[in-house]
Amino acid sequence: MEKLRFIDLFCGIGGFRQALGENGHTCVFSSDLDPDARLTYTENFGEEPAGDLTQIPEREIPSHDLLCGGFPCQPFSISGNQGGFEDARGTLLYEILRIARHHRPSVLFLENVKNFLGHAEGRTLETTVELLESLGYEVHYSVLNASRYGVAQKRERIYFVCFRKDLGLSGFQFPEPTDQDIVVEDVLLSPDDLRLDELVIERDDLFLSSEFPLDRENRPLRIGTVGKGGQGERIYSPKGHAITLSAFGGGIGAKTGMYLVEGRVRRLHPEECRRLMGFPEGFRLHPRRNVCYKQFGNSVAVPVVSKIVSSIDRFLDGQSRRAA
């Protein structure tokens, strides 16, 4: 399989880059507006991403085979304002189209929140597909849940894989679920780690069920509440999967959820969030904890992206052999 040159747009802390790099591909350009994200990216990949993509002429971006990007999801997210294309961040899809129109990469690989699928009664998705097809791309999309791809977290995202129509490629399939046996307790730090003490929740209005699950399950297992039990106030068992890590949201358990671990109810540590997103051991975190939570909440789940990249590689390799 010939290795691809790719550009990493709205790169965040580098989830796409991590996955594509694991599959042997080469990044030739990256960009993100957020200075904290650029700092974390630089610490881990040795180069600083460019800043505001809207200010970068397309001719200054290197030629590439694959364009990837998790374009900002807040305009479409349940935890955001759902302004869609009316939100200034929603228009950043047009930056992807601008660059794709100029460079004509063979593959576009995009990601957004599951809510993108039904946003504006489906009109947002319909418009996006029409725009991509108008550029000459065959569009494939699917909602994949990280829970079914080796990640101990419920994280449903829509992925777009688009191939230039003039290449004559057809029949791409997203990867089949692997349903590995992995749960939250498999990614936890040692209970002796003193950093966990400041994450413990002690409240008078904390309620725990009288029965706890004994078996491991690939889904979140709710076992209690704090306060009124709303979003961010629910307690889960580490024998199940984590709830979706979020960059935003309220409640005492906001961004990570709360888990009963070794007899204590606590939030997750950023290192545990790193593991839940599939970033490798040794991945350098931002020095501020709340920034870490935001960055992982905004990121892609690396194992899912890596499996999609492997599917793209096999598909392109198979098409090349048939053409030969």
Each residue's pLDDT, cut to its tens digit, for the chain (324 residues) gives 679 999 999 999 999 999 999 999 999 999 999 999 999 999 999 999 999 999 999 999 999 999 999 876 444 444 444 454 444 344 788 899 999 999 999 999 999 989 888 877 888 888 889 889 999 999 999 999 999 999 999 999 999 999 999 999 889 999 999 999 999 999 999 999 999 999 999 999 999 998 888 899 999 999 999 998 888 899 999 999 999 999 887 788 889 999 999 999 999 999 999 999 999 999 999 999 999 999 999 999 999 999 999 999 999 987 665 654
Closest CA to 16 of 278, 275, 244: 278
Shared-domain flag, residues 21 and 54: yes
Distance CA 144, CA 205 (A): 36
Shared domain check, 256 and 140: no
DSSP assignment string, 17-85: HHHHHHTT-EEEEEE-S-HHHHHHHHHHHSSPPBS-GGGS-GGGSPP-SEEEE----TTT-TTS---GG
Looking only at Cα atoms, what is the longest distance across the chain?
A: 70
Structure tokens at 29: 């350009």
The answer to whether 236 touches 184, Cβ cutoff 8 Å, is yes
Which helix (H) or strand (E) covers residue 120, if one does? none
The candidate with the shortest Cα–Cα distance to 218, out of 153, 282, 274, 167, is: 153
Instruction: Indicate whether 242 belongs to any domain.
Output: yes
Are residues 148 and 189 both part of a single domain?
Answer: no
Do 160 and 188 belong together in one domain?
A: no
C-alpha span between 160 and 208 (Å, rounded): 41
Question: Is there a single domain that holds both residue 133 and residue 252?
Answer: no
Q: Which of 60, 83, 56 is nearest to 72 (CA)?
A: 83
Residues 205 and 85 in one domain: no
How confident is the model at residue 78, as a pLDDT?
45
Instruction: Write down the pLDDT at residue 257.
Output: 94
Q: Map tokens 């997103």 to a residue.
A: 277
Residues 150, 268 within the same domain: no
- Does any domain span residue 39? yes
In a domain, 291, yes or no: no
Name the residue type at position 158: I
Check if the beta carbon of residue 114 is closer than 8 Å to that of residue 157: yes
CA–CA separation, 300 vs 279, rounded Å? 10
- Residue 305's domain comprises 5-177+296-323
247 vs 293: CA distance, rounded Å: 6
Residues near 41 by beta carbon (within 8 Å), at least 6 away in sequence? 11, 12, 13, 14, 17, 30, 32, 48, 49
pLDDT score for 212: 87
Q: Are residues 55 and 142 in the same domain?
A: yes
Positions marked catalytic:
73
Cα three-residue angle 90-92-95, rounded to 5 degrees: 155
**Do 66 and 115 have their domain in common?**
yes
Whether residue 219 is found in the same domain as residue 243:
yes
* Tokens linked to 120: 């504006």
- CATH at residue 251: 3.90.120.10
The backbone region for 82, taken as left when phi is positive above 0, alpha when psi lies in -120 to 50, beta otherwise, is: left
* pLDDT for position 88: 37
Number of domains in the chain: 2
Helix%, strand%, coil% for the chain, nearest 5: 35, 20, 45
| CATH code: domain of residue 315 | 3.40.50.150
Are residues 23 and 170 located together in one domain of the fold?
Answer: yes
Q: What is the pLDDT of residue 116?
A: 87
Q: Give the E-state strand segments of the chain in sequence order.
A: 5-9, 26-31, 66-69, 107-113, 137-145, 156-164, 206-208, 222-226, 234-236, 258-261, 264-267
7: burial class by Cβ within 10 Å (0-12, 13-18, 19+)?
Answer: buried
Q: Which residue has the tokens 């051991």?
A: 281
Residue 155 lies in a domain: yes
Together in a domain, 281 and 301: no
Report pTM.
0.91
